[in-house]
Amino acid sequence: MRRWAYLAKRLVLAVPVVLFGTSLTFLLLYAGPVNPAASILGQGATPAEIARLEARLGLNEPLWSQYLEFMTGVLTFGLGESYVISPNTDVYAVILDYAPRTLWMGFWAVLLPLFVGIPLGFYAGLNPNTPADYVASLGGIVWRAMPNFWLAVVLMTALSRSGAITGGAFAWGTWLVETTVVGAPPLDGLVTWTGLVPSVDAHQFLVALKMTLPASVVLGSASMGNEMRIARTAMLEATHANYVELARAKGVSGRAIVWKHVFRNALVPLIPVISAEAFLLVGGSVLVEYVFGINGIGYLFFRAMTQGDIPLAGALMFVFIVIVVGMNVVQDLLYTLVDPRVGYD
């Protein structure tokens, strides 16, 4: 029961953070240099036309009045319709149309550090100063040092030479399905439901997977190297702790020591790193989606900001803020689950 009370307390404390972030978003969008009316009408618009559109959109009202209207719209999920990207369409409907591609890419991007980076780091920490440890450590440093934009360009160059970009006859083009690896993955109709039983189209699944994997590798590469290094360090510290030496002295088997004592304690410093995957998806997806043409909410946010679609940009920023704050709450809750020494006060 105390855990649920702690969760409720953390959710209540998260409300002011969300309100502050949303208020800052309003100032950046409405008090900034972008003129939504000019963006809608284009470069050939006259000052009179811009003034009339500003009056119709309420952009000439006092800033405090616009702020109250904006916050009311955010809290009631009624920010209105898109100005430029998809006129006469509710902004949240636009986001729901683009979100599945980002979630699909993010799912595979998160699997890379979780099931490759962390296990390799634990293995290197359990076998220090061995060739496997040197290879894993060097790989982690190299992956961590490669910027996303540089890796994306290099990967695009390699795939274009192999014929994957144009669906050529090289390995990427003929591996089970022939498709390009640039563009929006086809997710419509990927899963169909017969009552409560889901059915997945195998061919479409492979096509969507192949079109997403390069972008997911780029997006997850930075955190993979980071988590590998932190996992190795955490495992080394845990294996040399006093309680591990005491367990060895009592004759506890090595397997029991690793899984019952070392592994759980080594997870504690990894919790904030794992929860930071949400920050990676929010910030890194903009560039990666633009380069690979994924056409998800990262690319949508880039277009909304550059084209002055204020309602859409505001709704996306609110979604990003809620995701980041929500992951911080989940992170605090995970601390109490993994480490019993952490109290609920």
pLDDT digits (tens, 9 = 90+) for 47-73: 888 788 778 777 778 888 888 888 888
Q: Residue 180 falls within a domain, yes or no?
A: yes
Query: Do 13 and 122 have their domain in common?
Result: no
For helices 148-162 and 277-292, the axis angle rounded to 10 degrees is 40
pLDDT tens digits, one per residue of 25-44? 888 888 777 777 777 777 77
Q: Residue 82 falls within a domain, yes or no?
A: no
- Alpha carbon distance 32, 55 (integer Å): 18
Pick the more confident residue, 18 or 81. Answer: 18
Residue with tokens 């679609």: 309
pLDDT tens digits, one per residue of 184-212? 787 877 777 777 777 877 878 888 888 88
The three-class DSSP label of residue 186 is coil
Q: Residue 86 falls within a domain, yes or no?
A: no
Query: Do 125 and 63 have their domain in common?
Result: no
Q: Residue 88 falls within a domain, yes or no?
A: no
- Alpha carbon distance 256, 106 (integer Å): 34
Q: Are 201 and 163 in contact (CB under 8 A)?
A: no
Separation in Å, CA 229 to CA 124, 183, 253, 345? 9, 33, 26, 32
Residue 274: pLDDT over 70: yes
Query: Do 214 and 178 have their domain in common?
Result: yes
- What's the number of domains the chain is made of? 2
Residue 174: pLDDT over 60: no
Q: Residue 84 falls within a domain, yes or no?
A: no
Query: Do 165 and 299 have their domain in common?
Result: yes
Residue 169: pLDDT over 50: no
Query: Do 29 and 120 have their domain in common?
Result: no
pLDDT for res 344: 57
With 0-12 / 13-18 / 19 or more C-beta atoms within 10 angstroms meaning exposed / middle / buried, residue 96 is exposed
Q: Residue 204 falls within a domain, yes or no?
A: yes
Query: Do 47 and 169 have their domain in common?
Result: no
Q: Residue 252 falls within a domain, yes or no?
A: yes
Residue 167 belongs to a domain with what CATH number?
A: 1.10.3720.10
Query: Do 239 and 99 have their domain in common?
Result: yes
Q: 49, 75, 101: which is the final residue of a domain?
A: 75
Count the Cβ atoms, other than its own, within 10 Å of residue 343. 8
Lowest-confidence pick of 17-21, 30-34, 108-112: 30-34
Q: Which domain holds residue 12?
A: 2-75
Query: Do 63 and 34 have their domain in common?
Result: yes
Model-level pTM greater than 0.95?
no
Query: Do 262 and 142 have their domain in common?
Result: yes
Q: Are 143 and 175 in contact (CB under 8 A)?
A: no
In the chain, which residue ranges form alpha helices assigned H by DSSP? 2-30, 36-41, 47-57, 63-75, 91-112, 118-126, 131-145, 148-162, 171-174, 202-239, 242-249, 254-256, 263-267, 271-275, 277-292, 297-306, 310-338
Going by pLDDT thresholds of 50, 70 and 90, the confidence category of residue 331 is confident
Lowest-confidence pick of 42-56, 71-85, 104-118, 269-283: 269-283
Residue 102: pLDDT over 70: yes
In the predicted model, what is the mean pLDDT of the chain? 80
pLDDT for res 16: 92
Q: Are 113 and 227 in contact (CB under 8 A)?
A: yes
Going by pLDDT thresholds of 50, 70 and 90, the confidence category of residue 171 is very low
Residue 99: pLDDT over 50: yes
Q: Residue 256 falls within a domain, yes or no?
A: yes
pLDDT for res 163: 56
- Alpha carbon distance 125, 127 (integer Å): 5
Among 289, 306, 307, CA closest to 298 = 289
